[in-house]
Structure formats: structure tokens, C-alpha cells
Structure 1
Amino acid sequence: MTASSRNTQAAAPSQPESAPATTMAPLRTMNVLGILAKHQEGLSLTQMSEFLGMPKTSLFSLLKSLNQGGYVSSTNGLYNLGAEAYHLATIISKRSPFPDCLRPELAKLHQACGETVSIGIPAESWEEFIYIDVIEADSSLRFRANVGARRPLYCTSPGLVLLAFAPRHIQEKYIKSVKLEQITPTTITSRKVLAATLEDIAHRGIAISNGSVEGATGMSAPIFDVHHNLRGAVGLAGVSTKILRNEARYTELLLETASRMSCILGFDGEYPPAPSTMAAAVS
């Protein structure tokens, strides 16, 4: 299962021809800044016209205004983001640091599924993950998690998805050194099974696990940043029967949420990224 991909060479969303130019100007401005942000090498007027589906005359007029304001620069016929655009980006990033900037998307996920939802990041040692944001379900029968709590990687969905998309050397070190203790009847206790599970998760883009709390199941997807580095995992968890009954819908919700969260952090590649094989991790 895959989430929608963002292709930087795709045309901009179609714009109603009947809409007054004044109402479309703000959207066109953001489209111009957005396409330039994805092409650090710069773009010519012709290239931008093709990418955005805008007439050259209208685009040139807009670029001229943005250039005068310092939001766009032009050198040797190529347009790039200007100093004011970077200044604005810095202000925005300082006002909404990770993970606060992802909270609205986490709230949307919670509203859509009604389960306990969370964001987790790997501990520095890569032996556990840490909950950094949690919204619990309203039901009295729910999965409970606290911000700051630590959980093992091999028996939880956030931990498994973090491992699946972690750098290769971290995966190999973890698989060779982790002590696989059985917590529930479905906990992974074999290194070969763990390696195969991580490979499957990397291909699917999502982890499903009921190996840490009996009767509860979790699902998680990875979050990436502007440098295409793994930043964390967004997940949902609840009573196993309900989670598994809604697995297809929850999978779609999670992948869409994780993709949007990654986009907020500046990720502009295909989501989820292409997997790496885990075959060499176990001899």
C-alpha cells in the first residue's frame, strides 16, 4: 500500500479560468515560491511556466514583483528564492518547532480514527523509542501512553517502523545485539523473523504490531524531514479487534498523515521512500 507521491515536475493544480486574477494572485505567489524551493539550482522563466501552467507574461510580471520585494532573485536568466523568502522560512520554523508543527495533523488523525495517536522518536542509543506527543482515545477501554515514556523497538509498531527505515548500520547493530524477550504470545523472538519483518515494513511503509500489550494492536508510519532523514513515527493504537477490523482504512489514514507531516518538515520525495534490503543483517 502506498500513499500519494509528490512529484516536483508535476503541473500545479488546475486553477479555475473564470476566477478573477486578484483572487488567484496569492495562490500563484505561493506556487512560485514552492516550485523554487524544490529546485535549488534555479529555474528559467520557460521552465517555471511549464511547471506551473502559467503564461510567461503573467509569470514574468509576478516574478518582477517578487524580485522587487526580495522574495525572488534572478541571475543569468535563472530564478531562485531571495533573502526575504529564507528570512520568512526561518521565522516560521522558529514559531513551530518539531513536533509542535505536527500537532494539527496528529489531531486530525485522532478525530478520524478515534484511537490513541502518538508521535515517537528513537532514543539516542537506538535501543528504545520515546513518545513526544500523545492524544489518547476518549473511550474508557483505550491504549494508554504518556509523553516521555520509553518503549522497546522490536515489539512495538513505532519501534519497528523506525528500525525499518533507520540507516543500515543501525539496523544491523540492533538485530545482532538486542535481547528479544517474549512479552505477549505474538512478540518477535527470532532475529531472522525480526529482519524479515523489517524488510516487509520497509516495502509496505507501515508497521503493525501486537507484541507489547496483550489485547492491543498498534500501527505506525515513518516521518521524514527536508534532508530525507528519518525524523520519527506517527502511530495509532487500540483494542486489537477494532484495529484489525479497520486495518485497511487505518493504513490509508496513517500513510496520508505521515506523508503530510513529512511535507510540513520539508520532505519533497516519493512517500514512502524506496526500501533497503535487510538480508545482510543476519548471518
Structure 2
Amino acid sequence: MPNVSTGDRPSQSPQSVTRVIRILEALCDSPSPLSLADLSRILESPKSSVAALLRGLADAGFVTATDASWRLGPGAYGLGSALAAARRRLQSSDLIREGMARLVERSGETVLFAVADGDGETLTYVDVVESRNSVRFSVSVGDRRPLYCTSGGRVLLAAQPEAAVADYLKRLKPTRLTGQTEIDKKDLAAIVATARDTGFAQTVDQAADGVTGTAAVIRDASDEAIGALIVAAPSGRLEDRLDELAAMVREEAATISRSLGYRIQI
């Protein structure tokens, strides 16, 4: 049996609630049971605190002790089934649009959701929540743009295997849409690689003069990149906000992805 301290009682603080959730997430993501030491390391919390929480979860049937380690219990699987049913009732498009609305409120700018087209060359804007600013970026649902010169296109490329990106660049015949459009294929490859590392892409005056875009991918429960979340606005208004917007877009894309069942693998 795992070493569970009988003198430690889990507190009801928000921190304890967060730790409980993280324990369940860690056990859900792990292909094998986890020891108390493993969970302590993952949560970056003392073993005594984690042990107390595990005892409470075990009492409720959410975890089970086995061979000095812990795994999910029947209560967790019942909760998972209930959550899956709830997710089916709440359509993915609703969850994405809710996140888009939150991002509009945070950023004050227009937010778009785009998906990659079947041709492998373009993306299509499938939803838009417009800024309330009188001067704002405006685009119609159904409009298409090239992948190589848009922030959304670049993060969608970054979500693909490197071999697929290399194949795309090999057949690409880029054209200048503005004086700033990057058309050098080696530079584009480096830009996509950077987007893969950072989790976002940012373009300034690349697809259209005076337009800045910042994007991150949204993933679903199967780890598929289902589309790009994009903030777009007049470039002149964003000169001092590029880092801020990058953080916002990454955070909201992660929040939406989690609501769709995406889990980061340990």
C-alpha cells in the first residue's frame, strides 16, 4: 500500500482543489499507475499533502491503491462518462465561440477561427467575433487566405509533421501580397519551426497592409489541431501589444482545447 499519512487532513483551500484536479489529470494521462513520489514530483507538492488528498479521493472511490502506486478508481470512470455526455450536449462550436468572445473582451480586437482547407494550401475563416472598435479588422466567414503569409496558416503548418511542412514548401509558389510578405522558403521554414516551438505565430502586414495577426492552434481530445484561434487588428494599434496578445491567444487557445478534452501528455 502507498504510504498515506493518517494524521494529515486535506484542507478545503482552493489550492487543495487544484491539487485534486491535477492528481486526477496525472493519473488519467499516465499509461501506468503512479507512486506517491511520482505524484509529489508532478504536483511539486510535499508527499504528506499529496498523500492526504489521495486518501480522500480513495474514500470517494476516485482512486485506488495498487502495489505501492495509485490508479484511477471506479468513481473517476463514472465521472468521466458523465463529463463525456455533457460534452456531447455542448457542441464544440459553442465552446470555441465562447472562448472567442472571451478573447474579444480581453484584447478589444476582432477574433477569428480558421480551419485548414483540403487543398493543403489555404485556410478558411469559419467564425468571427468582431471588435467593438469603430476602426477594426473585418473579414467575412468563408473568406480564404494562403497559409504561408497568415498567422493562422503558420500555426496550422506548425501543427503538422516536419515532413509535411517540407512537402508544402517544396510545392509552394509564394507571391508578394504586400511589400512585407515573406516569400523566401528557407525563412518561411524557420518561421514555421519557431511557431512550433513557441506555440503561436504573429504576422505584421504580411497578407494585407496594415493588418497584424496573432494565432495559436486549438486541439481536441484526439490531439488533432482542429483550427486556429486568431486575433486580428490594425497594425498601428498593436505596436506595443504584440507580446501581450501572443500570451492572450496562447492562453485562450489552451483553455478552449482543454474544454474540448485535450490533455497535455506527461
- Specify if TM > 0.5: yes
Identity among equivalent pairs (%):
27
TM (norm. structure 1) is 0.74
Corresponding residue of 2:88: 94
Q: Counterparts of 1:118-197 in structure 2 under 5 Å?
A: 118-197=112-191
- Paired residue total: 250
| Shift, 1:227, TM fit | 4.3
Q: Contact 1:155–1:211 at 8 Å: present in 2 too?
A: yes
Structure 1: state its 5+ residue gaps.
1-16, 271-283
SS in 1 for 2:178: coil
CA distance in structure 2 between the partners assigned to 1:34 and 1:183 by the alignment: 45
| Shift, 1:46, TM fit | 6.5
TM (norm. structure 2) is 0.78
CA distance in structure 2 between the partners assigned to 1:189 and 1:229 by the alignment: 28
Corresponding residue of 2:208: 213
74, 79, 84: which one aligns with 2:71: 79
Corresponding residue of 1:33: 24
SS in 1 for 2:123: strand
Corresponding residue of 2:4: none
Deviations 1:46-97, CA, capped at 9 Å, x for gaps = 75577465364563243122x2xxx555655642253313312311321233
Letter in structure 2 aligned against 1:218: G
CA distance in structure 1 between the partners assigned to 2:103 and 2:217 by the alignment: 15
Question: Which segment drifts farther, 188-197 or 236-245?
Answer: 188-197
Rate the CA distance shift 1:244–1:31 in 2: closer, same or farther, 3 A.
Answer: same
Q: Counterparts of 1:242-257 in structure 2 under 5 Å?
A: 242-257=237-252
CA distance in structure 2 between the partners assigned to 1:58 and 1:19 by the alignment: 5
